Amino acid sequence: MSVQIRIERVGKTYFGAKGDHVALNAVSLDVERGEFFTLLGPSGCGKTTLLRILAGFETATSGRVLVDGVDVSALPPEARSINTVFQHYALFPHMTIAENVAFGLKRLRRPAADVASRTREMLELVQMTALAERRPTQLSGGQQQRVALARALAPRPDVILLDEPLSALDLKLRQAMRFELKRLQRETGVTFIFVTHDQDEALSMSDRIAVLAHGDVQQLGTPEDIYSRPANRFVAQFIGDANLLKGEVIGVDAAGQARCRINEELIVLASCDDALVVGQEALVSARPEQIRLLAPSDEGAAGEVRNVAFMGDSSLVELAVGEGVIRVQTSGETLRELGLAPGSAVRFQIPPLAARIVAGQ
């Protein structure tokens, strides 16, 4: 793979009468050709601002954007081979579906025969051929989203930017569209840069994810990296809502694993990247689904059930442990076997290496 888009120390400050607002600090990222790349972060983290700078709708205050090694920072949107799909589709209501898809091709003054054949091909790709003569208002949200994708893909752009394109759809359709988007990206080979605040969307579709917060990249990696090896406290909590437990390092081995004492009974073996010294404080991240609940007679740390929330395929159990609370995700079967209800005594284990030491206090 080769680098297609280089974001070089891009900063953005919005200057206003009531004060200035820094939306992006110096962000640097490389996106490779043919990648499904996601910008993931909570509301206000700067992801839409970064996407708009890539598209050319917004100018960076500092830094630059290179496409295939060429600085495009000063180019208007139409001079970049980058198309955007917005959250609300922005289809033209007075045009048919086929006319919407053909729009970009006609604007590029492609010969009529090419426009017709490419439009047909794109409608087939998104499985909308049967509805080609309808108008956007006669389509469901999911169908409109497909047309918006077909319209964006029709002129064969090098890159497609997608700004929360699934957020207006209901849950079931959103999940179906994840597969659809991934298929479209694979079949066309076009680079997708996808913006979302939804971690499940990001984890399920992306080749790589950049987690953004407060205008900075918190972590860049594959979904597996981000999920299993969160770089800091923010990523650990934002992805999968991990428990963060304060402890003391009581042993370190050569393989980069640390033994941490959380309380008198709870000692966990956690992986870590940084060199640690015995005696220092550490923050241990442990995901609710990785903690195992056991009977009171088993070996493990003691806790008391405070709350149980039924979630369908699993349940979330809140345990009072010493002064703190630990959340555990468990199966209905375990709940029944252990007879857990608020007030029950329980034991639990954080399996070796299900825990990780993260940066941050």
**Distance, CA of 63 to CA of 48 (rounded, Å):** 17
Report if residue 197 touches ligand ATP, rule: CB under 6 A. yes
Closest chain position to ligand ATP (CB): 48
**Distance, CA of 191 to CA of 185 (rounded, Å):** 7
Q: Which stretch binds ligand ATP (CB under 6 A): 26-34, 44-52, 102-110, 225-233?
A: 44-52
Report if residue 38 touches ligand ATP, rule: CB under 6 A. no
As measured in angstroms, the least distance from the Cβ of 46 to ligand ATP is 4
Where in 2-31 is the site for ligand ATP (CB under 6 A)? 14, 16, 21, 23
As measured in angstroms, the least distance from the Cβ of 73 to ligand ATP is 18
- In Å, how far from its chain's centre is CA 13? 24
Report if residue 202 touches ligand ATP, rule: CB under 6 A. no
**Distance, CA of 324 to CA of 326 (rounded, Å):** 7
Binding residue for ligand ATP, selected from 47, 146, 151, 208, defined by CB under 6 A: 47
Q: Which stretch binds ligand ATP (CB under 6 A): 43-51, 97-105, 221-229, 283-291?
A: 43-51
As measured in angstroms, the least distance from the Cβ of 232 to ligand ATP is 18
How far are the Cα atoms of 34, 125, 127, 201, 323 from residue 133, in angstroms, in the given order?
A: 32, 16, 14, 32, 64
As measured in angstroms, the least distance from the Cβ of 152 to ligand ATP is 19
Long-range contacts of 299-303 (CB under 8 A, 24+ apart): 299/347, 299/349, 300/347, 300/348, 300/349, 301/262, 301/263, 301/265, 301/266, 301/347, 301/348, 301/349, 302/265, 302/345, 302/346, 302/347, 303/345, 303/346, 303/347, 303/348
As measured in angstroms, the least distance from the Cβ of 60 to ligand ATP is 12
Binding residue for ligand ATP, selected from 31, 36, 38, 41, defined by CB under 6 A: 41
Half-sphere exposure of 176 (CA within 13 A, CB side): 11
Where in 48-67 is the site for ligand ATP (CB under 6 A)? 48-49
Q: Which stretch binds ligand ATP (CB under 6 A): 47-55, 172-180, 320-328, 347-355?
A: 47-55
**Element spanning 312, H or E:** none
Q: Where are the beta strands (DSSP E) in 15-107?
A: 21-32, 36-40, 62-67, 70-71, 82-85
Binding residue for ligand ATP, selected from 2, 17, 43, 361, defined by CB under 6 A: 43
Report if residue 46 touches ligand ATP, rule: CB under 6 A. yes
Q: Give residues in contact with ligand ATP (CB under 6 A).
A: 14, 16, 21, 23, 41, 43-49, 197
